[in-house]
Structure 1
């Protein structure tokens, strides 16, 4: 019988390789990645919540502001990505 937890043991054996590869990254790339992830998460949450508030509750002011803020955060993600890619 296949034990899915046996795959976890194999993954933990390679954790040293992952840590070594992360340590090789330039500091600015690491922080840019974390910033892009945070902006993407906030952007997706705000944009989707804003659309739901407008669509289901009719709260145009609050929902619209959240949607626009979310789109701006997603745009910030693109800016961070392009800046690091150069």
Structure 2
């Protein structure tokens, strides 16, 4: 009796087109709350980056300081939502 040997199939790394397709599919299947949290995090992160150069120059007005604080608060809330959903990988840098 002979046994069939499995045909080796490459599993990694995925071609970039396949990785992009998987990413789009995953995003399409995410719950709305997760999509909203990712979007809020990304927008607040951009605003924080815009204001950070002013903070470095010690040139922040009161309204800019408030905007920076608000953006960081939004980021923390969005991060908590994503942590609860087990989806921190959507905002954290992969190593």
The alignment's TM-score, normalised by the length of structure 1, stands at: 0.61
User: Which region of structure 1 is more displaced relative to structure 2, 23-32 or 75-84?
Assistant: 75-84
Change (3 A) 1:46 1:27: same
Q: Confirm whether residue 64 of structure 1 aligns to residue 61 of structure 2.
A: yes
1: CA distance between counterparts of 2:55 and 2:24? 38
Correspondence for 2:20: 15
* 5+ residue gaps, structure 1: 1-9, 55-62
Q: How far apart are residue 84 of structure 1 and its match? A: 4.0
Q: How far apart are residue 53 of structure 1 and its match? A: 5.7
2: CA distance between counterparts of 1:46 and 1:29? 26
Q: Is the 8 A contact 1:43 1:74 kept in 2?
A: yes
Aligned length: 69
Correspondence for 2:34: 29
Change (3 A) 1:68 1:76: same
Correspondence for 1:59: none
Structure richer in helix, relative to its length = 1
Runs (4 or more) in structure 1 with deviation over 4 Å come to none
Q: Tell me how large the CA RMSD over aligned residues is.
A: 2.1
Correspondence for 2:48: 43
2: CA distance between counterparts of 1:85 and 1:13? 27
